[in-house]
Amino acid sequence: MSEVSKPSVLFVCVHNAGRSQMAAAFLTHLAGDRVEVRSAGSAPGDAVNPAAVRAMAEVGIDMSAAKPKVLTAAAVQASDVVITMGCGDTCPVFPGKRYLDWELEDPAGRGIEAVRPIRDRIEQHIRNLLAELQPTDTQQAD
């Protein structure tokens, strides 16, 4: 059986306090150790958005220990897929990487009622991404 390297995904938004943190948490939750997951921000905030933490807790995902991280060229270079969520031109671009841009509302300063639909859209994006990154178990057995 040959060893296949696991894909790596970097989620980027401006403050790394809401959308990218929720996306990273969903992918980690759904993929386990099958995908290497990173998140970062072009201008990281001081803390993760409490409404995002609450919204994720509602679906059984604990983000309470998450901390915003600064976006580095090294993080981009180490990732196969870079998914931006509103960081614009501040995201470094390297050849050979797959770049996706997910149009998602910024949950900053919004309450839980406004964050839930953003969370749900992120979950759907993550499920679609995971289906692309990981073949089904029956395909892996062939």
Tens-place pLDDT, residues 89-135: 566 677 888 999 999 999 999 999 999 999 999 999 999 999 998 76
CB distance 45 to 105 below 8 Å: no
Annotated catalytic residue, options 52, 91, 118, 122: 91
Q: Quick check: 2 pLDDT over 50? A: no
pTM: 0.89
State the pLDDT confidence band at 141, using cuts at 50, 70 and 90: very low
Q: What is the pLDDT of residues 60-76, one digit of tens each?
A: 999 999 999 999 989 99
Annotated catalytic residue, options 22, 53, 82, 87: 87
Q: Does the annotation mark 34 as catalytic? A: no
DSSP output for 101-115? E------TT--HHHH
